[in-house]
Structure 1
Amino acid sequence: MVKWGVIGVVALFVVVYFGSAFGYRGDCVRAEAGIKAQYKANQSSYDAMWKTFKEMAQVPEMYVADMRKVWDGAIQGRYGAEGSKAVFQFIKEHNPTLDPSLYTRLQSAIEAGRNRFNADQQQLLAKKQAYEVVLEGNRGAVVGMWFGFPKIDLDEYDIVTSDQTAEAFATKKAAEVKLRDE
């Protein structure tokens, strides 16, 4: 009777261990899939942000070209193909103007795009951190090696940053931001 009791306890421990091990494996698989998906989402977000900037930046150029056509038409309509030959012209002219709100909207789009991308980057970092905690946790020390985790190189899923940021963190110094070269 005692023999069957010992076998039952050992069997229970084996079942619990393997259940825990497979639970850990599932955690690792979910974490790696989440990191890969977030990295792809960040690429998509970054691409959409830059396409928006480039497309919006074309608008003022198109606007100026269209305004030139309007100005040329207005001048020729008023004064003919040769323009005005008058030495003095005391006519109050209403010429079209370039709308500065185009630039304000572009600035807003840049800021919003950068903020959205920064949030995506922080989400990737949070997923990597959570996975590293799973890998380094108590179950991860033994079971991780058993299942061969991590299966991805976490360094391949790093955030996107600028040369200026990399240099500032390497040198521990940051220069002031100059908006104009004077």
Structure 2
Amino acid sequence: MLSIRAAGPGLAPAFRRTAFIQPILRNPAALRLALSKRSIQIQSLPPSASQEISDSQRIKRPSSPHFTIYQPQLTWLGSIANRVTGSALSVLLYGFAISYLTLPVIGIPFTSADIVHLAASLPDYATYTLKALLAAPFAFHSLNGLRHLGWDAGKFLTLKGAYRSGYVVLGATAASTIALVLM
């Protein structure tokens, strides 16, 4: 590195001046920005006006294209199916439990004996259909839950592993649904 003395006596004052000039003065763009200050006027708005502005901005905002442009993938279809089956099984369980507790109180027979008698009186095709409608979501949700536990443990996280485990869940769901229906 050159010292000021080595650069010659004529350059020393120029080096000193340059070193002490503030950085904003050396950058023309920063200088223009500092000199051209804009005044911003702030206006207080009532809540209704701010809500109207927010609503008008929300209407102009583009919506996500999600389903309309993306090709369906096993991972997001499996995620949606897992949520739907979980919700359906929860609604069914709570509905049955509430019915089992409240219907006998209001005079409608809904005891264990009545449920067994109803199931025995149904034709075979109706029995198998109802069993399949219960077994398929239960099997899928249970097996996909095991898949998610595997993901939590750090397994099957690659794209190939996610698809392979998804296909295993679908195959195991079909096999266990058939096994549960035939019980």
- TM exceeding 0.5: no
- Between structure 1 and structure 2, the one with the greater Rg is 2
Higher relative contact order (CA 8 A, sep 6+): 1
* TM-score of the two chains, using structure 2 as the length reference: 0.29
Name the one with the larger helix percent. Answer: 1
* TM-score of the two chains, using structure 1 as the length reference: 0.29
